[in-house]
């Protein structure tokens, strides 16, 4: 349950400035924390930090535990002598306003390989000891992940069910032989995860020491092409060949006549229950090593989820199936008594979802952009908010406020103008004030809205196969008025908690 009033900013680290094609855990991340403090902000909300796969989406990770190695700070690696000055020359076609993933990945991977080679050839006893300790501590997932990535690359990134049969079925002798034959490659992936964990832990500690808390993000489902599904095939709805029998999605609704066919394999919840939900306990515990609290995406799937036959052409033929419900969360509470979870309770929400959320005192979400289509009774209007809520003007899936306002139907714009008492001038600040003045204990703004950017700068367009996850800002867009206005707003609406670093 949320008890203190505060506000924060939604910004994925890839959207930070930086010379090497995308934001990372380098100097600009620390500068962003400093800027948040000057702006009176308490929460930095990020998207999932996992290793991205097809489509570059952070919600389709190749591991529920491994971090996105493209976020590793190359400058920090060079400080240990693992990279030279020539490695820190940016690609000439990198863009300051967009992540060009086709350039970014080979550029970063090449340098990470050089760094790994130099690290293993070095005599840094303390760093080698740190690396070994990390590999031992995280072996439960790290061994499978590093082997999965090594095999996947060797197999030209084909889906794992198309690998040689003995590797698909994880025959112990075949796995041992492959690992021995590709030991350097396995070590490379472990080295990258060590660097990721070390750098993010330092950044999070810096943020916490300055009064900034991290809100992480856990997608409820995992990607089929992931180390998790390959190494825990019994936990997922798969056939004898390792192919999904049923997959995730959502039914037809106002936005789509055929629903959404996500394609993630579904869980065998009965098997999870027999294990005491061990994999989920490990997953949440791991996420809380990297964040102070986590948003669980598609929370409604724990109450019931849309089950679609894997061979269906779309989501129409799916059906609702009961999820683990209270059993899972009762297990969570035994391990994580305060249950630091934000329930993403958007979409088609039924009474059982609300009952599950409220039984465990989990804060839900409210989105102001959704508020103006149904009159004064609309659930998303600020006067309906309750304290145990995280309120947003919009999320990474929404248009920016300016883009939303420009495309709003006339009747909704009229209602919004009347409700917010605005003619649309500085609409982003009007809407940020509206949720700041609400009862919601936490309010979150996107960086795009703080900067007053148009719809061209949105982070994600759901259902679009290209162009998402690429947006970046630059420091020359950030003006003193932005931090001053935010700080004043936070103070006016009692959203600046006491912290020694802020009061110094």
Residue 470, CA atoms < 13 Å, CB-side half-sphere: 20
**What gap in Å lies between CA 243 and CA 161, rounded to an integer?**
7
Structure tokens at 152: 């996947």
Enter the tokens of residue 270. Answer: 């009965």
The stretches of 218-291 forming alpha helices (DSSP H) are 227-231, 269-274, 278-287
H/E run at residue 132: helix 125-137
Task: State the Cα–Cα distance between residues 3 and 102, nearest whole angstrom.
Answer: 44
- Cα–Cα dist 397/365, whole Å: 14
The backbone torsions φ and ψ at residue 471, rounded to the nearest 5 degrees and listed phi first, read -65, 140
Quote the CA–CA distance of 478 and 17 in Å, as a whole number: 11
Alpha-helical (H) ranges within 350-438 are 351-359, 401-407, 410-420, 427-436
- Quote the tokens at residue 253: 């609704």
What residues contact 132, with CB distance under 8 A and at least 6 apart? none
Domain ranges within the chain, ordered by starting residue: 1-52+68-221+474-504, 232-344, 363-467
Kind of pairing, strands 213-219 and 293-297?
A: parallel
The number of CA neighbours under 13 Å toward the Cβ of 372 is 19
Residues 259 and 318: beta-carbon distance below 8 Å = yes
pLDDT of residue 499: 60
Contacts of 7 (CB under 8 A, 6+ apart): 40, 41, 42, 43, 436, 442, 443, 444, 445, 486, 489, 490, 493, 495
Distance CA 454, CA 66 (A): 34
pTM listed for this prediction:
0.96
Alpha-helical regions (H) of 260-378: 269-274, 278-287, 326-335, 351-359
Single out the residue of 327, 193, 344 nearest to residue 269, CA to CA.
327
Superfamily of domain 1-52+68-221+474-504: Glycosidases (3.20.20.80)
Strands 246-250 and 304-309 turn out to be antiparallel
The per-residue pLDDT string of the chain (504 residues; one tens digit each, 9 = 90 and over) reads: 788 999 999 999 999 999 999 999 999 999 999 999 999 999 999 999 999 987 899 999 999 999 999 999 999 999 999 999 999 999 999 999 999 999 999 999 999 999 999 999 998 889 999 999 999 999 999 999 999 999 999 999 999 999 999 999 999 999 999 999 999 999 999 999 999 999 999 999 999 999 999 999 999 999 999 999 999 999 999 999 999 999 999 998 766 789 989 999 999 999 999 999 999 999 999 999 999 999 999 999 999 999 999 999 999 999 999 999 999 999 999 999 999 999 999 987 899 999 999 999 999 999 999 999 888 999 999 999 999 999 999 999 999 999 999 999 999 999 999 999 999 999 999 999 999 999 999 999 999 999 999 999 999 998 776 889 999 999 999 999 999 999 999 999 999 866 655 555
Distance of CA 172 to the CA centre of its chain: 33
CB proximity list for 196: less than 8 A, separation 6 or greater: 25, 66, 67, 68, 69, 71, 72
**Pair of tokens at residue 307:** 């089950």
Q: What six digits make up the tokens of 32?
A: 């962003």
Number of H helices, E strands in the chain: 19, 12
For 200-256, where are the E strands, in sequence order? 213-219, 246-250
Angle formed at CA 439 by CA 434 and CA 441, multiple of 5 degrees: 105
Q: Please identify every residue annotated as catalytic.
A: 297, 344, 397
Distance (Å, whole) CA 53 – CA 101: 11
Distance between CA 106 and CA 393 in Å, rounded?
Answer: 36
Q: Where are the extended beta strands (E) located within 361-408? A: 364-367, 389-392
Q: What gap in Å lies between CA 137 and CA 120, rounded to an integer?
A: 19
Residues in Cβ contact with 271 at an 8 Å cutoff, skipping those fewer than 6 apart: 234, 235
pLDDT attached to residue 503: 56
In the 8-state DSSP scheme, what is residue 40?
Answer: T
DSSP 71: G
Residue 365 to residue 440: CA distance in whole angstroms: 9
Rounded to a whole number, what is the largest CA-CA distance in the chain? 70
Residue 125 CA to residue 222 CA, distance in Å, equals 37
């Amino acid at each position: 349950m949320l008890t203190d009033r505060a506000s924060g900013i939604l910004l994925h680290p890839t959207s930070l400035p930086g010379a090497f094609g995308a934001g990372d855990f380098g100097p600009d991340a620390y500068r962003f924390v400093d800027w948040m403090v000057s702006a009176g902000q308490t929460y930095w909300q990020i998207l999932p930090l996992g290793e991205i796969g097809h489509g570059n989406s952070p919600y389709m990770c190749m591991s529920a535990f491994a971090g996105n190695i493209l976020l590793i700070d190359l400058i920090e690696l060079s400080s240990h002598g693992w990279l030279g000055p020539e490695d820190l020359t940016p690609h000439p076609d990198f863009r300051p306003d967009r992540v060009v993933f086709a350039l970014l990945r080979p550029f970063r991977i090449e340098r990470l390989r050089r760094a790994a080679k130099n690290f293993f050839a070095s005599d840094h006893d303390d760093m080698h000891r740190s690396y070994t300790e990390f590999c031992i501590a995280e072996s439960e997932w790290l061994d499978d992940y590093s082997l999965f990535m090594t095999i996947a690359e060797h197999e030209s990134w084909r889906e794992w069910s198309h690998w040689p049969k003995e590797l698909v079925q994880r025959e112990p002798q075949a796995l041992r032989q492959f690992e021995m034959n590709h030991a350097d490659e396995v070590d490379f992936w472990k080295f990258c995860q060590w660097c990721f964990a070390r750098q993010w832990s330092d950044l999070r500690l810096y943020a916490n020491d300055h009064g900034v808390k991290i809100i992480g993000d856990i997608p409820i489902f995992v990607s089929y092409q992931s180390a998790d599904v390959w190494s825990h095939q019994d936990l997922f709805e798969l056939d004898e060949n390792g192919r999904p029998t049923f997959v995730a999605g959502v039914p037809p609704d106002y936005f789509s006549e055929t629903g959404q066919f996500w394609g993630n394999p579904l869980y065998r919840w009965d098997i999870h229950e027999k294990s005491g939900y061990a994999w989920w306990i490990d997953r949440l515990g791991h996420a809380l090593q990297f964040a102070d609290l986590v948003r669980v995406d598609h929370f409604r799937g724990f109450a019931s989820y849309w089950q679609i036959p894997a061979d269906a052409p779309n989501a129409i033929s799916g059906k609702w199936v009961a999820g683990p419900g209270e059993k899972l969360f009762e297990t969570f509470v035994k391990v994580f008594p305060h249950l630091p979870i934000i329930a993403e309770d958007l979409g088609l929400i039924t009474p059982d979802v609300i009952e599950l959320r409220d039984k465990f005192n989990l804060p839900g979400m409210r989105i102001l952009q959704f508020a103006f289509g149904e009159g004064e009774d609309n659930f998303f209007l600020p006067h309906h908010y309750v304290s145990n809520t995280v309120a947003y003007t919009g999320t990474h899936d929404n248009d920016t406020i300016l883009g939303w306002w420009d495309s709003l139907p006339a009747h909704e714009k009229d209602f919004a103008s009347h409700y917010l008492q605005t003619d649309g001038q500085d609409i982003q600040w009007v809407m940020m004030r509206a949720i700041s003045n609400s009862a919601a204990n936490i309010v979150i703004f996107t960086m795009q809205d703080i900067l007053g950017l148009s719809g061209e700068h949105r982070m994600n367009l759901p259902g679009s196969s290209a162009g998402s996850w690429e947006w970046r800002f630059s420091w020359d867009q950030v003006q003193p008025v932005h931090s001053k206005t935010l700080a004043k707003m936070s103070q006016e609406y009692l959203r600046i908690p006491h912290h020694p670093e802020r009061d110094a």
